[in-house]
Every structure is written in structure tokens, then in C-alpha cells.
Chain A
Amino acid sequence: MYQFKVHKADKLSTALDLFNASDEPAYIAGGHTLIPTMKQRLSAPSDVIDLATIPGLDAITLVGDTLQIGAMATHAKVAASSLVQEHCAALANLAGGIGDRQVRYRGTIGGSLANNDPAADYPAAALGLGAQIVTDRRTIPSDTFFKAMFETALEPDEIIQAIHFPQVDQAVYLKFPNPASRYAMVGVMLTRTAGETRIAITGAAASVFRAATFETALTADFSVSAIEAVTLSAETLNTDMHASAEYRAHLCKVLIQRGVEALTA
């Protein structure tokens, strides 16, 4: 890693001030994306601003129907939370399948969403569950949060405080891991609320997206047969040494079918 300074923020406003006073600042949450990129010298911030020292950012609470998860909650904490398990088991399962055991103790939901890695799991959760991303200055609906590969609606200095997950009737997350990295080669979050189906797909394209044609068909008729003829265009999907776009498109459909089967079983 190159040289940099580490600043410990004690509150959000301090973090913002530190960020805006630095040449090449970077926030650090769990650090499990930032540190590896810095070690490989792909990223060289001058100032690293530690958000872990801000109290209260990792709380998990239920407010009314809404599950509110603090941005600094680790994957392990979300996976083990009885509140999450009770109100959205699919989300707990998703968190429990990110990376590996050691990574889950450090990686955070806020860090994952702010990074928007095209193969990360949490973007599928946020988009599929229709979450609201609450920042230091506003609330951003997940439908407008994810912009492009590693790009979100966040301003450069904006900090995610919490993610609000509304209650859904049913949800399931199915992941087809890349055999090497164990990131999602394709990951599908499928949810139902008041008869409406939402499907968010990660790993398959430059950024997480909703599978509109499948959503329409399943909202009309939530059954495997309803999507028999529905396909996902491979045109905008990723091709790499692990999977072609065509194969990814196929896997998306298979996972959606399996999700429907799981929720109708």
C-alpha cells in the first residue's frame, strides 16, 4: 500500500469535514474491498476516514414494519440477527452467504452498497426488497441508487447511515457463485409484496438490475409455468472466462424458476 493518513471520525459531521478537507479521501467501513485494492496499488487515497469509530451506526432495529439496518452492521451481525431472521429470512441468508466466515465479521452492508460491485450480493437485496438508502442528507430509493459498475447515486462525500427494508410478504435469494472468487456469478433476489413480484439480479451485468419481463409475468401469475416462455436478453450481460452472457442469461432464468418453486412450495 502507498502512504496515507488514517482519521478516526467520532461523528458523521467530523467524517464529512475530514473528507472535504482531503485531497484524495476515502471512507473506510469494513475495509474488505478497499484494503485489497489498496494493497494491489489499484487505489491510492491520501486520507482514509474511519467510520467504525462513529457510535451507533451498526444498530439493527424494527420500526413499525420497517427493518432498519445500520450501515456499519457486519454481514455476520445481519446473518445472526433474530430480528432479520424473523422479518426477512432471505436477507439473513444472503448476508450469511457473502464471502467467507472471516470476511463476514468485517464486511458491512453500507460498504457493500456504496461500493456497488457488480457481483456483490447486497445490491440485489436492496433492489429486490425495495429498500431505502438513508444517508447523512437524504433518503434514496434503491430503484435510483445503483447507477453503473461501482457507481451509485451517492455524492462523493455522502455517507450511508442505514438501510430501511420494508416488510415483504415473501422473499428468497438464490446465488450461483463464481467458483473461484465465490462472488455471485448470478444472484437473484425474488420478492412478493401484495401480489407484486420484484426481481433483482446481481453478478450478471455491469450493475444490479431488475428483471422486468419476469416481474410482469409473475405479478400476473406467480407460477413456474407463467415464465416458461419468458427469457432474459443476453445482450447487456457480462461475458468473462467463467461464464458467457448467454449462460448467465440462462442461469438467471433457472434461479428465478427455482425461486418461484421455493416460494410456492
Chain B
Amino acid sequence: METIELKINGRKRTLHCLPNATLVEVLRDQLHLTGTHVGCDTTQCGACTIHVDGCAVKACTVLAVRSDGSDVMTIEGLAENEASHPMQEAFKACHGLQCGFCTPGMIMSAVDLVNKGCALEPSAIREALSGNICRCTGYQNIVAAVMQGASEMQEQSS
């Protein structure tokens, strides 16, 4: 067992994990943060997307021990002070989800692409979401949600 320290959703945690544990396994199994999902085993589907040190990463492909000292944010930590994050609200408002399984990863990617200044027009958003697979929505309402969530994020920060 290795001991690591992480800041998870704003709170410092000391964890013990096996060297071969992935970050998503630690989040789900030890911390019971089950909003981060696993949909594939080849780093393609993006259901496990979280933020590590401010960047969207696939938590299925990160060894937990290598995240020692990192600042991790999961879907559970996205909302501040109990109010939903604008991107979460936009996904609801635009019917940007159906079964909900890919949704946390999709939202974490969406927030990242807005934070990093991706062009906010449909084709750029579609390209920027190519690391997240959704089988339900046909993506159209997801794109609409990201557009709406982005403009609300920008309004909030201005």
C-alpha cells in the first residue's frame, strides 16, 4: 500500500492505495464518489473525466499514486455552495442528457473546454468533445448545453 495526499473537491485527503490502483478506482471505491463512471477500458469513452490540477483527464488512465499532491475535482465538487454549476444547469435546461451515464464526464470536459478558451461555436465544441462518447443524445443537445453553459460561465466570471 502506498500513501498519497490529494485535495479532492477542496478537501485534503490522505489515502492508502495499491500501486496499480487507478485514480477512478480510488475515487469510486474508497471515497464513494461514484459520479465518475467507467465506460471502457481503452481510454476512449471519457465517462471517467475529472479535473486534475485544472485539466480534464481520464481518471481510468491515471495511476492514483502518480496523483500524489494533486488537486482533484470530480462532478460532485463542481457545484459551489450547493448551487449547481452553470454547466450543470445548462445540461438540464437543454436536455443534454438521457441515461446520464456519460453526463458527469461530459460536463467536466465541457467546463474544461470553456475554461481553456475553446472557440464557442458548434463545430469547435463537437471537436473538443471527441474524447467523450454518448450513446443516447446524438450530441445535438449536448452541444447546445455547452454553448448555453459557456455563456453563463462567462457572465458569472465577468
Contacts and interface: CB of A to CB of B under 8 A. Distances in A.
A, B in one complex:
yes
A103 B43 contact: yes
A106 B44 CA distance: 14
A250 to B, nearest CB: 25
A18 B16 CA distance: 23
Interface in A1-42: 1-6, 28, 31-32, 35-36, 38-40
Interface stretch (B51-59, B74-82, B147-155): B51-59
Nearest to B130: A100
B130 A182 contact: yes
Interface in A74-121: 76, 99-103, 105-106
Which size bracket describes the interface of B in this complex?
A: 20 to 34
A35 B22 CA distance: 9
Which size bracket describes the interface of A in this complex?
A: 20 to 34
Interface in B82-140: 109, 112-113, 128-132
Contacts, number: 74
Interface of B: 2, 18-20, 22, 41-44, 46, 49, 55-58, 60-63, 65-66, 109, 112-113, 128-132
Given A99-B131, A101-B131, A102-B131, A2 B66 contact: no
B19 A101 contact: no
A28 B65 CA distance: 12
A6 B46 contact: no
Contact of B63 (A6, A76, A102): A6
A184 interface: no
A50 interface: yes
Contact of B18 (A3, A28, A101): A3
Given A76-B55, A100-B46, A105-B57, A31 B41 contact: no
A3 B58 CA distance: 21
A199 interface: no
A6 B112 contact: no
